[in-house]
Amino acid sequence: MEGRRPSWELTSVRNAARLLKEFSRTDRELGVSELARRLDLATSTVHRLLATLAAERLVERAPGGYRLGIALFDLGASVSPHLDLHEAAMPVMATLRHSTGETVQLAVLDGMESVYIDRLESPHTVRIFSRVGTRLPAATTSTGKALLAALAPDELDRRLARWTPQRHTPFTIVDEPTLRTRLREIAERGWAENREESRVGVVSVGAPVRGADGDVIASLSVAAPTDRAAPATLRRIRVAVVEAAAVVSRRLGAPPRG
């Protein structure tokens, strides 16, 4: 009979797919009642669907109800492995900003400077103002240290030979042995941090982004004022940044890392 669905179709799976498709560029956040109305489902059913999808990180809670989760971008990586850096990073950066509520930045390395090529500001009133194109000493930023830590030893030696450190805050690293020690630690753990090293009152966490050949080509970071960066909050941000950088890498076609 025309219109009848196959007997093997799982209604719950179909409803979950329909729910996810309701989110779009114009409807980034949707509430339970609105989703129930659009899908013609009971609110209790929508609640159960959202709870299941949230457990799998396909959606997440938001001020306006729910929004798509970062795991969806991970899935998308398998079907779009040849995007350029901007295309691959921006959707993930938007999700990262929503999930952390803080400023998200993408940077590349130029000599011993970290150059910010994409940036999404925090929605908070108190923000960390800067702009795309800003250059900061790589040794003072989480993005820069993540990039320096990925350099081959001979390339790092070459760049450090021309390094002229300047103390921007009382916490800035200005001696080469300490910087080398920090970079080794960063290379081992896979993320970097900046604790008021470039600007007093600002902290950040950064992680490397890899291209299709597996080499580090950029780094992604979240920056926040210290009064919004309690230890537990920083741990949560760190996990989110590392995961987001890995998703961007996979969207660029980077091979899996063991």
Residue 165 lies in domain: 81-251
Distances from the Cα of 243 to the Cαs of 55, 84, 89, 105, 191, in angstroms?
A: 16, 19, 12, 15, 11
What is the Cα 48 distance to its own chain's centre?
A: 28
Residues 150, 52 share a domain: no
Residues 88, 54 share a domain: no
Distances from the Cα of 115 to the Cαs of 59, 77, 137, 196, 243, in angstroms?
A: 32, 25, 9, 18, 22
For the chain, the domain total comes to 2
Residue among 107, 88, 33 at smallest CA distance from 64:
33
Residue 257 counted as domain residue: no
Residues 157, 30 share a domain: no
Specify the pLDDT at position 124.
66
Residues 182, 139 share a domain: yes
Residues 149, 27 share a domain: no
Residues 34, 145 share a domain: no
Residues 148, 22 share a domain: no
Residue 6 counted as domain residue: no
Residue 146 counted as domain residue: yes
Specify the pLDDT at position 150.
96
Q: What angle do CA 192, 197, 205 make, to 5 degrees?
A: 25
Helix axis angle, 32-39 to 43-55, nearest 10°: 110
Distances from the Cα of 42 to the Cαs of 35, 37, 64, in angstroms?
A: 10, 8, 19
Tell me if the pTM is above 0.85. Answer: no
- How buried is residue 137: exposed, middle or buried, by Cβ count under 10 Å (0-12/13-18/19+)? buried
Residues 139, 56 share a domain: no
| Mean pLDDT for back-to-back runs of 10 residues, the chain (258 residues) | 50 90 80 94 94 90 85 62 76 92 92 90 62 84 96 94 92 95 96 93 95 93 91 93 95 83
Burial letters 69-98, b for 16+ CB under 10 A, else e: bbbbbbebbeeeeebebeebbbbbbbbbbb
Instruction: At 148, list the tokens.
Output: 């320096």
From the CA atom positions of the chain, what is the Rg in Å? 21
Neighbour count for residue 204 (Cβ, 10 Å): 28
Residues 224, 112 share a domain: yes
What is the domain-level CATH number for residue 51? 1.10.10.10
What is the domain-level CATH number for residue 170? 3.30.450.40
Residues 114, 49 share a domain: no
Q: Which among 49, 69, 89 is the end of a domain? A: 69
